[in-house]
Amino acid sequence: MKIARLIFNPLQENTYVVWDDTLQAAIIDAGNMSERENNVLEKFIADNGLTPVVAINTHGHFDHLLGVAHVCERYGAEFALSSKDEFLLKNAVTSAELFGVRSGAMPEKIDVDLDGRESITFGDTTLQIISTPGHTPGHVALYEPQSKVLFTGDTLFRESIGRTDLPGGDYSWIMRSIIDKLLPLGDEVKIYPGHGEESNIGHESMYNPFIVEVLNDEINYRN
Ligand SMILES: [Zn+2]
């Protein structure tokens, strides 16, 4: 599996283009919003001979959605998002305005509901869907076990975590998601977050202050 990171929109959101030898591609969290950014994405896709078949979203925040309608229209790709984040999709244009971002069209409907779904496939690649509520109720992480690659969206960043003060956010949920569902995947698993640089689970278990705090508290509690 090959991965490219493109950084789009004023919120510096990571859009990942993911593909394999079939040259079918998934666009994870398409955040491209201007003509220039659309061109950057289209040029990358054309230069690599890719066919995007699905736009997969880790969650329904507007900065991760800004390019989805364009990708779906331009390439005929399907749109995958948990229906638990549909309320965010419906409010995405207004949310963007509150952040001073004038968005274009948003996708009108979810083609593939990731809520309760185990995996999603494009080309020869299957991404496991891990429900990770907390940043949003419908947030998912996407895991490819052969490459040991994990797309964490806004749940887990390098040495930080996503906000939990936005509508539908919950701090105890995000920490349970990280500690019970992501850390057990193993130290060597590489993390591709929704903002900022890559990391891996081992680094985060040692140096992520939010994780370290909860792990220390749990040890104290047990003792
Ligand atoms: Zn977010």
Please say if the pLDDT value at position 132 is more than 70.
Answer: yes
**E-strand spans in 29-157?**
51-56, 78-81, 112-113, 119-122, 125-131, 140-144, 149-153, 156-157
36 CA to centre of ligand 1 in angstroms? 23
Domain that includes residue 175, residue range: 2-222
> With 60 as the cut, is the pLDDT of residue 223 above it?
no
Quickly count: other Cβ atoms within 10 Å of residue 223's Cβ: 5
Q: Which amino acid is at 222?
A: R
Of 107, 109, 203, 110, residue with least CA distance to 150: 203
Report pLDDT for 188.
Answer: 98
Alpha-carbon gap, residue 75 to 35, rounded angstroms: 16
Q: Residues 50-74: pLDDT tens digits?
A: 999 999 999 999 999 999 999 999 9
pLDDT in tens, 160-202: 999 999 999 999 999 999 999 999 999 999 999 999 999 999 9
Taking the centre of ligand 1 as the mean of its atom positions, its distance from the CA of residue 13, in whole angstroms, is 9
What's the rounded mean pLDDT across residues 194-215? 97
Cα 172–200–29 angle (5° rounding)?
Answer: 70
Tens-digit pLDDT profile for residues 80-129: 999 999 999 999 999 999 999 999 899 999 999 999 999 999 999 999 99
Report the 10 Å Cβ neighbour count for 188.
9
Q: How far away, in angstroms, is 99 Cα from ligand 1 center?
A: 13
* CA of 194 relative to ligand 1 center, distance in Å: 8
Where does the pLDDT of residue 153 fall: very low under 50, low under 70, confident under 90, or very high at 90 and above?
A: very high
| CA of residue 162 to ligand 1 center, whole Å | 7
Q: Please tell me the distance between residue 22's alpha carbon and the centre of ligand 1 in angstroms.
A: 31
CA 86 – ligand 1 centroid, Å: 14
* Cα distance between residue 50 and residue 46, in whole Å: 6
Whether 221 shows a pLDDT value over 90: the answer reads no
Residue 66 CA to ligand 1 center (angstroms) comes to 12
Cα(53) to centroid of ligand 1, in Å? Answer: 23
Domain count, the chain: 1
CA 192 – ligand 1 centroid, Å: 14
Expressed in angstroms and rounded, the spacing between residue 212 Cα and the centre of ligand 1 is 22
Q: Whose CA is closest to 142, among 126, 123, 129? A: 129
Rounded to 5°, the CA angle 152-157-161 comes to: 100
Rounded to the nearest angstrom, the distance between the alpha carbon of 219 and the centre of ligand 1 is 30
Tell me how crowded residue 11 is: count the other CB atoms within 10 A of its CB.
18
Residue 159 · residue 204 · CB < 8 Å? yes
DSSP 86: H
pLDDT tops 90 at residue 217: no
Whole-number Å distance between alpha carbons of 31 and 123? 22
Q: What burial class does residue 94 get, using C-beta atoms within 10 Å of its C-beta: 0-12 exposed, 13-18 middle, 19+ buried?
A: exposed
Look up the CATH number of the domain holding residue 178: 3.60.15.10
218 pLDDT more than 90: no
Residue with the bigger pLDDT between 148 and 218: it is 148
Structure tokens at 141: 């992480």
Distance 202 CA to ligand 1 centre (A): 23
Distance, CA 59 to ligand 1 centroid (Å)? 7
Q: pLDDT tens-digit profile of 13-37? A: 999 999 999 999 999 999 999 999 9
Query: CA-CA distance, 95 to 102, in Å (whole number)?
Result: 10
**Average pLDDT rounded to a whole number, residues 128-150:** 98
